[in-house]
Structure 1
Amino acid sequence: MSNDNQSDFIPSEEEEEHKASLRDSIRRMTNVQLGILLLAGAYTLYFVRPVLLPVILALLITLILNPIQKFLHERLHILSPVAALMILMMVTSGVGAAIIYLSEPAYEYSEKLRDDIVKQRLKNVFQPLSDIQSGLNKVATEVEKITTPKEPEVEDEFAPPESIARPGIEKKVSPPLETPATVLDDIKDNKPVRVKVGKSPVDELIKTVKSVGYHLVITFILVFFLLAYGENMIKRITEVEATAALMDQLTTEVSRYMLTITVINSLLGVITGLAMWALGMPNPILWGVMAGTLNFIPYIGAIIGAVIVFLVAATHFDNQLAVILVPAVYYMLTIIEGNFLTPAILGKSFTVNPIVIFIWVMAWGALWGIPGMLIGLPILMVVRISLSKFPMFNRLERIISA
């Protein structure tokens, strides 16, 4: 056997030695070292968001679209760059059409929430709760009066009786507040008044649109390259067949999960849009898209969506029952999806501990805001699937799993 072949071949004994040394290194890591490592990772993630966010979004979108890419390339024998370009054109056209169609009504509803009529409707909806709270406060005040013992009154023998009039003694009136000398000097000298001007909302909106547009452009360019050349890159990362097979299996499982959860969220969006249409809500497509997107944020996304449709219902309906029914139906659909539909389709192999999900999503939200909360659960599932492939991380994988 030649030296080149010997260098390419790694015996199983050496692989076991490498794994054993890695396990020993992990076990020797103390809690302090682990804490420092986590803090350093969080610090890095916080400051590299402008660069890392498009990369992570591109990777997640690629995992969703990868089965379609394989179908076009392997079954229909379309070149990978051409197939990637076709998929990207369909995705970008859909996203662009959604932004153009849904941005105008979203802006209109944000303006309507400032009307006095809407504020009065919201006040009427919460009036029963306000009455209950007021009644409880009165009861608590009365109970406090009854249970608190009265202190005996001590008479001052040197104080004159109140019934005796005291002529010549007038009620003291506190003097008016004096104007500071600096202000008087400024007025006499006719100095200009300094006024702090806040940032224009239009400028802030333009800045936000530019930032979102920049991230979208970079993300879709990365998606194209990953779809077109990502498979060849993965094959060239390692020459060991076992490692290549493991990476292929890991990519396949993660892609299957991402595609399945995207289909489930899209189905929830369609059902929610139909429900909002049946309840008489305007622009039901907007609420369906919102429901499907926010459903990537576990627990918190459903609450945010319910609050938004509640506010919009207050701008549209005069009936208090309709204002309450709309968010109730919205939230009920998300509960049915999260507790019955998704577990039935994905099974136990893709379930995660709810406590871990909540802490993980909140941590990503603290680091990257709403985008971090959107990508938090998919990243957690990628981590869990990756850990399940390595026996040395079985304990950590059991903690994450439900």
Structure 2
Amino acid sequence: MDSQQTRSLSVPIWGLFIIAVIAVLYIAQSVFIPIFMATLIAFLLTPPVSLLAKYHIPRSIGSAIVIVLSSLLIGTLSSYMAEPVGEWVERLPNEIQQIERKLSPFKDSIESVQETTQKVEEMTSISDDGQATQPDVVVKGPNIFYILVDGTQAFLIGVLSFVVLLYFMLAFGHTLILRTSLLFEDKGYQSQILKIARDVQYKLSRYLLLITALNLVLGAAVTLVMWLLDMPTPIVWGASAAFLNYIPYVGPAINLGVITLVSLQTFDSLAQVILPPALLLGLNLLEGQFLQPMFIGRMFTINPVLIFISVLIWGWLWGMAGIFLAVPLLVIMNIILEKNDFQAASHTRHISRK
């Protein structure tokens, strides 16, 4: 079989392989999501674990210390945010009624369109012989108690799996990479795997730390702006801006919609209603278009088209968790491809010199 026939056969084989990988990732998402999330957070928490190791604290103990301190920090922030968030949850029914009252002109127009559509559907539901069609049979699903219990059980299993995997990756991830490289007899392959792993670990941890710092700055700016505009509970909107900014496109859009509804409920004049979401949009654009390129640099610059495609694919596969993981996974792929391209170019130059 010549090389042309081999290449023609490799295309459908690779296509089937990619389809199989996507199917496995979709079907077994309850297994892969904790693994990917733990790997991502492990990159973020590896620097403090390595710092503790320099002070002769074993990685097994240092990993536990870092996880406990991170959990305490998250728990403290959550408890601090619980009161204002709970206040909004209690006020939600009244707030919805006020928003509906302000949007009543638009609501009346929509209801008239719905009534017209319903009448047309009733007219078309009559068959040609003048008799109404039989109503559809609706099969009831499981009750709400079963859904809540099943969802809570899956959530707890996912959280437990995530925490255990995170600890093992922080404590023993470096030895796993070393043993993986030793599976290859070629010293060149061993060295390449170790270099790629170190490069991915360093650059991705740096990327995540910079993104976290920028998100904290964005949250502080949003809190200050919402406080100056007399928005209620400004710290809630700052925290939501910082957290949701980890989710590309979807997160800022959700936060913008929530701020718009709260502003609509809080203020009466159109200028006051528009100002908070407009300033929030401006801060998001400033952070995304200027601060990120300035501080993250060209090292992590990725084409926005690729980012959007990655968000669509991973969001379709794993929902909100996939959207959260889309950009870090793309950064990892970009680092690996750049490493391989650099080594291939170096190998080509070495051969040409000979």
TM class by shorter-chain length?
0.7 to 0.9
1:384 aligns with 2:334: yes
Aligned to 1:233: 176
1:119 aligns with 2:62: no
CA distance in 1, matches of 2:172, 2:5: 35
Which amino acid is 1:61 matched to?
A: I
Residues 178 and 40 of structure 1: CA distance in aligned 2, closer, same or farther (over 3 Å): closer
Aligned to 1:398: none
What secondary structure does 2:57 align onto?
coil
What secondary structure does 1:218 align onto?
helix
1:51 aligns with 2:1: no
Residues 195 and 79 of structure 1: CA distance in aligned 2, closer, same or farther (over 3 Å): closer
Aligned to 2:73: 94
- Shift of residue 260, structure 1, vs aligned partner: 1.8
**TM-score calculated relative to the size of structure 2:** 0.76
Aligned to 1:80: 59
Which amino acid is 1:52 matched to?
A: F
Aligned residue runs from structure 1 range 15-164, under 5 A:
30-74=10-54, 76-102=55-81, 105-106=84-85, 109=88, 112-114=91-93, 115-123=96-104
CA distance in 2, matches of 1:316, 1:289: 19
1:345 aligns with 2:324: no
- Shift of residue 113, structure 1, vs aligned partner: 5.0
What secondary structure does 1:389 align onto?
helix
CA distance in 2, matches of 1:247, 1:365: 26
**Could you tell me the percent identity over the aligned residues?**
31
Aligned to 1:375: 325
Which amino acid is 1:83 matched to?
A: G
Aligned residue runs from structure 1 range 153-232, under 5 A:
199-200=143-144, 204=147, 207-232=150-175
- Shift of residue 306, structure 1, vs aligned partner: 0.2
Deviations 1:253-310 (A, max 9, x none): 2222222222222222222222222222223332222212221222232212100111
Which amino acid is 2:42 matched to?
A: T
CA distance in 2, matches of 1:267, 1:65: 20
What secondary structure does 1:390 align onto?
helix
Deviations 1:108-146 (A, max 9, x none): 54665553222122457x79xx8xxxxxxxxxxxxxxxx
- Shift of residue 94, structure 1, vs aligned partner: 2.3
- Shift of residue 61, structure 1, vs aligned partner: 0.3
CA distance in 2, matches of 1:334, 1:27: 46
Which amino acid is 1:235 matched to?
A: L
Count of residue pairs brought into register by the alignment: 310
- Shift of residue 223, structure 1, vs aligned partner: 1.2
Residues 35 and 261 of structure 1: CA distance in aligned 2, closer, same or farther (over 3 Å): same
Which structure has the greater CA radius of gyration?
A: 1
- Shift of residue 333, structure 1, vs aligned partner: 0.8
Gaps (5+ residues) in structure 2?
110-129, 346-354
1:354 aligns with 2:354: no
What secondary structure does 1:81 align onto?
helix
Which amino acid is 1:42 matched to?
A: I
Residues 209 and 307 of structure 1: CA distance in aligned 2, closer, same or farther (over 3 Å): farther
Check conservation: 2:307, 2:327, Cα contact below 8 A: yes
CA distance in 1, matches of 2:101, 2:285: 30
Aligned to 1:242: 191
- Shift of residue 195, structure 1, vs aligned partner: 10
